[in-house]
Amino acid sequence: MRFTKMHGCGNDYVYVDCFRQRPPVDPAALSRVVSDRHFGIGADGLILICPSDRADARMRMFNADGSEAEMCGNGIRCVAKYVFDHGLARKSPLMIETGRGVLTLELETVDGKVAHVRVDMGEPILEAASIPTTLAAPRVVNELLPSGLLDLGQPWVAESGLEPRVTCVSMGNPHAVLYCRDVAKVPLAAVGPVLEHAAIFPRRSNVHFVQVHHAGEATMRTWERGSGITLACGTGACAVCVAGVLTERSARRLLAHLPGGDLRLHWSESDGRVYMTGPAVEVFHGEWPGTT
């Protein structure tokens, strides 16, 4: 199986061109194997670039644990780069089919190759039942975490300045956003799994801790559903932009600093849609010898 390794702000995936070769028989199992950073290729998951009868291409995304996700903001930028750079569709904008629907992507090229991509991520989903979360509010904005979910007596809570309130947003996949004074003090590897698998999230959740510098700038760290700690999360950055407006912590235009790089977000007041701009990078090509 031929593959391409790509990343967006360090959020890396193994990409398989299913236009030019047969798709894997069991992509969930394949994702678990190739994502292993010691015995596989090493990635946050697997993304299939498939033909579509609705768009220029269709993206299917599998987390490192094999679970299929609806959407991946960093992943879709790389899909657009692959589709353009490898001649599947040499145009801009591109239309890519996802579990969230068909999204529009505008390409910024340098020397005939895609460098940055602006994605129309659509309108955020804010109704609690549609995210989904069982927290008892029509919209979960700055709601107190259920008692006992986190041990708020732990030293890291005071050290990080964590506010034990959550804002929930879906960008086609579920996100929980929490704010603190210092994101570096959050023990993400310990806290992330607890919140991802909390009963209040029936389909689990991506979890983000955010430190606001001023209305137009914030730093975030992410625990991704099914993948763990990642260097970036595009849909998560969009959710953080939306959550910042809803909680009156940040503006509709936000520069988000993630461990792997920066993303520019805009939650448009005129059409209600979230726009994300960031890089897409091709790392290397290879051939996976295992069965697919």
* CB-based contact 236:230 (threshold 8 Å): no
Which tokens sit at 197? 């698998």
Asked if residue 290 has pLDDT above 80, the reply is no
Q: What class, spelled out in words, does domain 128-272 have in CATH? A: alpha beta
Give the pLDDT mean for 174-194: 98
pLDDT > 80? residue 204: yes
Per residue in 105-118, pLDDT (tens digit) is 999 999 999 999 99
Find the Cα–Cα–Cα–Cα dihedral 133, 137, 141, 143, rounded to 10°: -90
Kindly report whether the peptide bond that precedes residue 132 is cis, defined as omega within 30 degrees of 0. Answer: yes
**8 A C-beta contact, residue 287 and residue 2:** yes
For residue 33, the one-letter residue type is V
The answer to whether 122 and 283 have CB atoms below 8 angstroms apart is no
How confident is residue 256, by pLDDT bands cut at 50, 70 and 90?
very high
Q: How far apart are CA 161 and CA 234, in angstroms?
A: 25
* pLDDT tens digits, one per residue of 55-111: 999 999 999 999 999 899 999 999 999 999 999 999 999 999 999 899 999 999 999
Nearest by Cα to 120 from 182, 83, 172 = 172
Contact 58, 23 (CB under 8 A): no
Say whether pLDDT at 249 is over 80.
yes
* Torsion of Cα atoms, 181 then 187 then 193 then 196, to 10°: 10
Catalytic residue selected from 72, 78, 168, 180: 72
pLDDT averaged over every residue in the chain: 96
Q: Has 233 been annotated as catalytic? A: yes
**282 confidence band (pLDDT: 50, 70, 90):** very high
The pLDDT tens digits of the residues spanning 124-176 come to 999 999 999 999 889 999 999 999 999 999 999 999 999 999 999 999 999 99
Give residue 178's pLDDT.
Answer: 98
List the chain domain ranges.
2-121+278-287, 128-272
For residues 217 and 264, give the distance between their C-alpha atoms in angstroms, rounded to a whole number: 9
Predicted local confidence at residue 136, as pLDDT: 80
- Residue 86 tokens read as 């490898």
Q: Does residue 258 have a pLDDT over 80?
A: yes
pLDDT number for residue 291: 57
Distance set, CA 261 to CA 13, 93, 153 (Å): 16, 24, 33
DSSP string, 270-281: TT--EEEEEE-E
- Annotated catalytic residue 18: no
122 vs 64: CA distance, rounded Å: 25
Q: Do the domains 128-272 and 2-121+278-287 match in fold?
A: yes
What's the rounded Cα separation, in Å, for the pair 126 and 266? Answer: 17
Q: How far apart are CA 70 and CA 47, in angstroms?
A: 11
Confidence check: pLDDT of 41 > 60 = yes
* CATH topology for the 2-121+278-287 domain: Diaminopimelate Epimerase; Chain A, domain 1 (3.10.310)
pLDDT band (50, 70, 90) for residue 26: very high
Residue 292: the pLDDT is 57
Does the pLDDT of residue 181 top 60, yes or no? Answer: yes
Of 9, 168, 180, 233, the catalytic one is: 233
DSSP string, 255-269: EEEETTEEEEEEE-T
